[in-house]
Amino acid sequence: MSKYLLVSPRNYPIENYLNYFQDLVEVKIIPESLKEIDPKKYKGLILIGGEDVNPKHYNEKNLFENLNEINDERDLAEFELIEKFLNYERIIFGICRGIQVLNVFFKGTLYQDIPSELNLYTHKFYKDKTPRNVEVYNNDTYHKIKIINRNPIFENSEFIVNSRHHQAIKKVSDDFYIFATSEDGIIEGIFHKKLLIFGVQWHPERIKQEYNFSSIKILEFLKNDRF
């Protein structure tokens, strides 16, 4: 039970995740492999980045059909997996889309498009609108976040992370507390109040080495043998 299950749609690029997690994970393609997945075999579940969660799952219309990329099969498959892993109280970790999937599963909501709703262009690179003082590398923007609440991974601190997302948590689920935010108020990290379920909005699997503090801390937590 030492490995985590990392699930991905077919033909989705996961090389960065494999390089980051290495032998900590086993990969399954969803929804094809959904029925054969047995949570008892794994230490936990890892939900990765990708398309947008269908707004119908948090009782909203799709306000930006030209922007939002929806994969209903993936939404339903990941919701089912969360339910399965919850039943065995396994660790669940969400990255980027993954934190949003967790929040929606537990009855939270999302901003459907950060630039349209908040007039912010710092969490994804927009050629003519992202401020020039924002560091950009491989189309990820880099910005500071602050740890605002005690959590099992990070001590109170500030550090740089990378982003490439146009959606974000709006109302956090009542089952979670916020442990990290960006300087402009975007929720960057949440942790379940009772269970080992958490998510981050940034991409620890592909961050520049000079900023990989958070990536190291997350791996240390996931590898902890006490869980």
Catalytic residues: 96, 203, 205
**Token representation of residue 104:** 């929606």
| Contact present, 94 and 199 (Cβ < 8 Å) | yes
Q: Read off φ and ψ for residue 190, nearest 5 degrees.
A: -135, 150
CA 121 – CA 162 distance, rounded (Å): 13
The DSSP secondary-structure symbol of 78 reads: H
Q: Alpha helix locations (H) across the chain?
A: 15-21, 72-87, 97-105, 114-118, 213-222
Instruction: Identify any residues that bridge with 78 across adjacent strands, giving them in sequence order.
Output: none
If one counts every other C-beta atom within 10 angstroms of the C-beta of residue 226, the result is 3
| Contact present, 47 and 94 (Cβ < 8 Å) | yes
